Amino acid sequence: MALAYVGSSIPSILVVDDVPANVDILVEHLQYENVHLIVALNGEDAIDLACDRLPDLILLDIMMPGLNGYEVCSHLKSKPETMNIPVIFVTARGEDYDQEKGLALGAIDYIAKPYNASILKARVRNHLAMKKKTDLLNHLASIDGLTNAPNRRYFDELLEHEWCRCQRAARPLSVIMIDVDNFKSYNDFYGHGKGDDCLRQIVSAMQAALMRPSDVLARYGGEEFVVMLPESTASQAMVVAEKLRRQVCSLAIPHLVSGISGNVSISLGVESCVPDRCASSLGLVERADKGLYRAKALGRNQCCLNASNAS
């Protein structure tokens, strides 16, 4: 799966208020703003919708039965997947203390009722524009400039997230470490321009081989890549690894250097475990790397489980 940023997509706003009439007014004001509106009538539904839909902005009332707006905001700011969604409190509680409390919880703005519709829309536009710029910057910081694949920083963060998720669910998590065989000699002989083209072709071929949205390929450094396969066993990961190897071989990129006669190939090391039985996500990567070294020691252009899993 390639990391993608869709800058032209229509932004979404989650409107949260337990009074349907208040929701209707907000919807009426915003319906011509080229946004997609999502509505929740209580705090519990707001949290579920925020986690499921990941809106670009949340307009949140404070006084609601059950979870109030402060509690909803606090909950969203505590979760990695929703902590960066901007929240604007739109409420009748307009005292300085209320505004200070809301901003301290992580809200970016506070609009007191009754509000001016033009000012409301202007603030919404400004915060959506800021969110778009922030998303673009985060995207640029998370991709490899050469191959447009996710970079190591993004992969490490995602791996830790998936590690915790699979740990809670007691589900397996697999990692494949990948190295382009004899790439230094290829780069030296054909030149860095051809070497860059080679890496881009390899990434494109491997991404095409990953069928599930949850499977992520990233550039780990130089000519080394890594794939994360959530909820995949060792045997399933080996099937994917072999598919990756065959995809790269099918490119038939000539590699005719002194001592090497053939096409560009890759070596792959595989490791899989259930996180509650393993020490850390870093250990998972290290063990997959051992499988990679084993594949290279056995002659390259092959897939190997790490030594502890190999039969």
- Beta strands 36-40 and 266-273 are unpaired
Please give the backbone phi and psi of residue 89, each rounded to the nearest 5 degrees, phi first.
-80, 125
Contact 159, 251 (CB under 8 A): no
Q: How many other CB atoms are found less than 10 A from the CB of residue 100?
A: 11
Degrees to nearest 5, angle at CA 28 with 22 and 122: 95
Q: What's the number of CA atoms in the CB half-sphere (13 Å) around residue 242?
A: 8
What CA–CA distance (Å, rounded) separates 203 from 80? Answer: 28
Q: Report the catalytic residues.
A: 223
Q: How many other CB atoms are found less than 10 A from the CB of residue 55?
A: 23
- Can you say whether residue 309 is alpha, beta or left, with left for phi > 0 and alpha for psi between -120 and 50 degrees? alpha
CA distances from 64 to 45, 85, 105 (A): 12, 20, 17
CA distances from 303 to 24, 48, 51, 234, 266 (A): 58, 41, 37, 12, 9
